[in-house]
Amino acid sequence: MGAAQSLGLPPAQGPHQVGCTDVMVGLTRKGLFFRLFYPCLPQEGVEQPLWIPRYEYCRGLAEYADLHWKWCTPLLSVAFGSFRVPVSWNGPFKPCSSKYPLIIFSHGLGAFRTVYSALCAELASRGFLVAALEHRDHSACATYFCKAGDGQPGAPQATLQEEWVLLHRVPAGRKEFHFRNPQVHQRANECVRGLRLFQDIGHGQAVTNILHNDFDLAALKDSVDMTQAAVMGHSFGGATAVLALAKEPGFKCAVALDAWMFPLENALYPKVVKPVLFINTETFQTAESIAKMKQLSSRNSQTKIITMLGSVHQSQTDFTFLAGNLVNTVFQTRGPLDPYKGLAITSRAALAFLQKHLELKEDFDQWNDLLDGIGDSVIPEAPLCLSSL
């Protein structure tokens, strides 16, 4: 398929139908904002949400790509604004007596909460709750929070005011590490707060979604297995997942997609004692980055590093399915590897890893070979040009 594919997100392949909703908690920047993907009950007349939820995200993408936003924002809106996510918006939650495992997902630099919808929906269709955060550390292309109008903490929804948090670039004259390292710590702390929010929800504590969607978070009571929680992310989010794993005992393992290891301080690595699965693309990683991953795999035999051949950094995002030939030529949103095959490798390797380390009673172990880099279009560790360190 490759460039000849029809544009649009693929439907999830698992046994569960998938619903999603947006959740915003708290009236300050220190609250949380995420899109929740979950198994849902079948229903007729399903509404599918837009992939780009607000026009402001198109402007954010233009500014992240360093394009002239006044003319590029409407072009991006035309290119991507009509795509929908093939899930049920606010669909009825499917109760589960055995409870669902939880994944907290962290996006990459310049992304936002919906950029990994194909992967998040696939995982939800396999029986996971997936909370895709939208970080407020100025690394999202754009995001926002709501605050009470006139400073009234108990103000009704009608008086809530939006405040946008825009992408910040590294200031001139400042070393990038000293800018990015505090960001990755804020991101990891948001992942930890996300985990604790689901602890509250699972225990039946009332949690107010100030967006007032037609989805009752109380439906999740007694349906979240907090003993089976993992953290996952792409690029900057991959580094975030590694750091969150070290910070929070409640996370049992992490899946890092093409992790950008640069923002992590060297003192962190001895503290990462639980297993990590690194699923890398062929063209993004450097020898230095792979060496940092190998610091972790040398300490824990359950930490795995694999590479998808024919893939590029955006192969693990939705852009690989949605970008037309022109956009792909400019931004390299996909490589020779078929996007559907790339999604299958990524999701199946993650599922096999999660089954093992969350002790799930599923059949995901059928894909265990992927964890050792065995299979079509996948190799262990890194390509030879990077692995000789």
Annotated catalytic residue within 107, 135, 185, 313: 313
- With contact defined as beta carbons under 8 Å apart, do 281 and 289 qualify? no
Is 258 one of the catalytic residues? Answer: yes
Bridge-partner residues for 306, per DSSP? Answer: 279, 380
Bridge-partner residues for 89, per DSSP? Answer: 20
Q: Cα separations (Å) of 283 from 239, 313, 389?
A: 18, 7, 17
Annotated catalytic residue within 22, 225, 258, 318: 258
CA distance 119 to 246: 24
Annotated catalytic residue within 235, 311, 315, 347: 235
User: Which residue is it, tokens 């009950």?
Assistant: 41
Q: Cα separations (Å) of 112 from 32, 57, 87, 307?
A: 13, 8, 18, 24
CB atoms within 10 A of CB 239: 29
> Which helix (H) or strand (E) segment is 119 a member of?
helix 117-125
Give the Cα-Cα-Cα angle 284, 254, 50 (nearest 5 degrees): 70
Sign, CA dihedral 153-157-161-163, equals: positive
Is 234 one of the catalytic residues? Answer: no
**Which DSSP category does 50 fall into?**
B
- With contact defined as beta carbons under 8 Å apart, do 342 and 116 qualify? no
CA distance 380 to 9: 28
CB atoms within 10 A of CB 56: 18
Residues serving a catalytic function are: 235, 258, 313
